[in-house]
Structure 1
Amino acid sequence: MTLVPLLTVPLAALLSAGLILLLKPLLQRYALARPNARSSHRVPTPQGGGIAIIAAALFTVAVLAVPAGVAFKGAELPVLALAVLALATVGAVDDIRPLPASLRLVIQAGAVAAAVLAAEGRILPDAPLWLERAFAILAGLWFVNLVNFMDGLDWMTLAEFVPPTAFLFALGLAGRYAPEPTLVAGALLGGLLGFAPFNRPVARLFMGDVGSLPVGLIVAWLLFRLAGEGGAGTGGLAAALILPLYPLADATLTLLWRLRRGEAVWQAHRSHYYQVATLNGFSVPEVVGAVFAVQVALAGLAGATLLWPSPPVTLACLVLAAGLVGWLLRRFAAPRADRAGGKDR
């Protein structure tokens, strides 16, 4: 790769921040997020910052692709861009006027299926292609929704996905990741960083579904490509599992517990571990800081599986990752002895 990719992060960050400054008056007028059963905020706050994140990321990829030496081979990147735009559109409409859950799910499934079917590479070459793709579509659909579910505190999505995207971008600069996903990872990282100052606690702007849904799809695609990288072996698949392990574990375990209790899982709630933590005495900066630190550590473990792709190292990294995430979830679930009743953002 040339030196052009180094421009990816700053360009996307500047575009994201600039678009937010331009759009914020409109978002303040038409896209206020009012507190509900899922909210951790008490004051109506504009949402829709994801418009800037996604627009900046897509524009950066389009502008830098050719100078960076990224060849548009096949339909993979164009299909991904269209799928991202479809989810952003659905999210934007839903932010202003909630859509039926069934309609959202159908459109999400179509967008994820399009991105998966157009993607290059194989995760499990020995398995039938149709079975691998079907599993990838289901996993991608869940990932898109869990990213949306986990966007419930100021800076939470940034704490979860800045470390993985930074890791993937650095991996690509080192020549260990394909140029196409490297450019996409850098563009998304820049878009998130440009949004960060506006979302820091106490947030003046939320991402909204217009951002969380397409961010989920982009990250899912990046992980799919990592898992299927040629020559990565089991290390690539293990790294793809480790990188998003905190949000994956929090959302999945919460869903299972709610199903076990017979709750309507499609309704708004505040049962996620990171939300319970604020009720157990942790401040918002403490929660997102802990998640960020764990995600950085997970990126280190993911890197180890790629540097030393042997079964013992891979297994050890997976066990350490699971233990680290389990420790954090347990910590969030237990009330703090020195503080009672957390503060809302």
Structure 2
Amino acid sequence: MTSLDHPRPLLLLAALASALICAALIVLLRPLLQRYALARPNARSSHVIPTPQGGGIAVIAATILVACGYVVAIGQAIPFVLFGATVFIALVGFVDDIRTIPVLPRFLLQAAAVAAIVFAAPSELRIVPVVPFGLERALLLVAGLWFVNLVNFMDGLDLMTVAELVPTTGAIVLFGWLGDVPLLATIIAATLGGAMLGFAPFNRPVAKVFLGDVGSLPIGLLLGWCLLQLAWHQHVAAALLLPLYYLADATLTLLRRIARREPFWAAHRTHFYQRATDNGFTISRVVAEVFALNVVLAALALASVRLNSALADIVLLVAGAIAVALVLYRFSQRRISLSLLASRESE
């Protein structure tokens, strides 16, 4: 699957089918999730009422079902390793949602899913050919494990993952239309983005259902694989630009917690987007700003792919880093309400 040589509207139909199937499955599953998978609020939560989690079951089921149907319809082979690893890590997340898995076994199981994808890839797919093959794949394993977990860490606010996934998968689909990523990555981006749109009405504030680890972990795996396809096809800057907000927020938060000698593996409320809500930003405002930022990052990634220049990549990465830094800075500052500002001006 290396080129898009069939009608492009099929991708839009696939995205629509994925959205409808996901929404239908959530309607069917929500009573069961309400009964058996209820996320109760605690000191680290952004929600204040018990909310069912596990909506990711519908997202991943719709994505895989429609993607499999698509590749079979066009006479291609189903990617069993990719989808098998996705189902496996979803099951790990499902168990962790119901009964907490200790940190080390959880990471080892996640690493097994990532390793299956990384080491099953054709050996000719390289990012930096001068680096020894084994070392590059080992580094990709570590990066993939971190990416899967950071997507999970960042899924702590209503619509946050939707605001991240929709612009990112939309950009990957556009790259596929332009012939810059393989067809399979384009199909998965289309179906995953469609499924997230089907999930969105149920996750808007105040959310009626959460993704849960059963959703955020496999979403991170599939999205990471799509970004890896960009990198393997020598669009490394674009692969970094698209998830740059998630990468920055999660990585800076992790480093800050390590520097403070906090148990960085434990749940917390110190991500920039969480601090934003504590600083007076509404959930809708935070999500809207993240969505707008991701649209900007998608535009920069598109420019990077189209210009195909090392100098342009450097400039665009710097521009993306500045845009992300501005949003992180805003989120870390306390927001003065209009009523408080008016009272101060009247004094």
Output the TM-score relative to the length of structure 1.
Answer: 0.94
CA contact (8 A) 1:70 1:180 kept: no
Q: In 1, distance between residues paired with 2:338 and 2:156? A: 22
- Does the alignment pair 1:68 with 2:74? yes
What is the one-letter code of the residue matched to 1:18? A
- Deviations 1:235-255, CA, capped at 9 Å, x for gaps: x00100110000110000000
Q: Which moved more, 1:95-104 or 1:45-54?
A: 95-104
- Which ranges in structure 1 are unaligned for 5 or more consecutive residues? none
Alignment root-mean-square deviation, CA? 1.4
Give yes or no for contact 1:45–1:205 (8 Å, CA) kept in 2: yes
> In structure 1, the residue corresponding to 2:334 is in which secondary structure?
coil
**Structure 1 counterpart of 2:115, which letter?**
A
CA contact (8 A) 1:5 1:68 kept: no
In the alignment, is the contact (CA less than 8 A) between 1:70 and 1:179 conserved in 2?
Answer: no
Q: Residue 276 of structure 1: CA displacement?
A: 0.1
Residue in structure 2 matched with residue 172 of structure 1 by the alignment: 176
Give the AA of the match of 1:212.
Answer: S
Number of residue-to-residue matches in the alignment? 332
Report how far residue 69 of structure 1 moved.
Answer: 5.1
- Counterpart of 2:337 in structure 1 is 338
**2:287 equivalent in structure 1:** 288
Quote the residue 1:130 is aligned against. Answer: 134
* Segments of 4+ moved more than 4 angstroms: none
Q: 1:111: how far off?
A: 0.4
Q: Which amino acid aligns with 1:198?
A: F
Q: Aligned residue for 2:321?
A: 322
Listed one character per residue, the Cα deviations across residues 256-287 of structure 1 (whole Å, up to 9, x for unaligned) are: 00011110111111000000000111000000
2:306 aligned residue: 307
Distance, in Å, in 1 between the alignment partners of 2:174 and 2:13 is 13
The structure-2 alpha-carbon separation of the partners of 1:266 and 1:339, relative to structure 1 and needing over 3 Å to count, comes to farther
Please name the residue that 2:17 is paired with: 11
Contact 1:140/1:217 (<8 A) preserved: yes
Q: Partners in 2 of 1:68 and 1:313 — Cα distance? A: 36
- Retained in 2: the 8 A contact 1:84–1:111? yes
C-alpha distance in 2, partners of 1:6/1:125?
Answer: 36
- CA drift of 1:128 comes to 1.1
Q: Distance in 1 between matches of 2:182 and 2:222?
A: 15
Correspondence 1:70-149 to 2 at 5 A: 70-72=76-78, 77-120=79-122, 121-149=125-153
Q: Which residue of 2 aligns with 1:156?
A: 160
2 CA distance for matches of 1:166 and 1:242? Answer: 14
Q: Secondary structure at the match of 1:65?
A: helix
Give the CA deviation at 1:175: 2.2
Q: Greater CA radius of gyration, 1 or 2?
A: 2
Question: Could you say which residue in structure 1 is the equivalent of 2:65?
Answer: 59
TM-score normalised according to structure 2 size? 0.93
2:39 aligned with 1:37, yes or no? no
- What is the deviation of 1:101? 1.3
Post-superposition Cα deviations, 1:187-220, rounded to whole Å, max 9, x if no partner, equal 1111111100000011010000000000000011
- Contact preservation (8 Å) 1:38, 1:152: no
What secondary structure does 1:66 align onto? helix
Q: What code does the residue aligned with 2:298 have?
A: A
Change (3 A) 1:302 1:19: same
**CA-to-partner distance for each residue in 1:107-146, whole Å, 9 max, x for gaps?**
0010001111122421112211111100100000000000
| Counterpart Cα distance in 2 of 1:70 and 1:173 | 18
What's the CA shift for 1:225?
Answer: 0.7
Task: Note closer, same or farther for the CA distance 1:37–1:69 as it changes in structure 2 (3 Å cut).
Answer: farther
The one of 3, 6, 9 equivalent to 1:2 is: 6
Q: Which amino acid aligns with 1:17?
A: A
| TM-superposed deviation, 1:176 | 2.2
Indicate the SS of the match to 2:73: coil
2:274 aligned partner: 275
For 1:163 and 1:78, locate their aligned partners in 2 and report how far apart those are by CA, in whole Å.
27
Q: What is the CA–CA distance in structure 2 between the aligned matches of 1:286 and 1:334, rounded to whole Å? A: 14
Q: Where in structure 2 are the equivalents of 1:207-218 lying within 5 Å?
A: 207-218=211-222
CA distance in 2, matches of 1:173, 1:217: 22
Partner of 1:245: 244
Q: Which segment is superposed worse, 6-15 or 205-214?
A: 6-15
CA displacement at 1:71 relative to structure 2:
4.3
Match for 2:41: what amino acid? P
Deviations 1:79-102 (A, max 9, x none): 111111111101111111111111
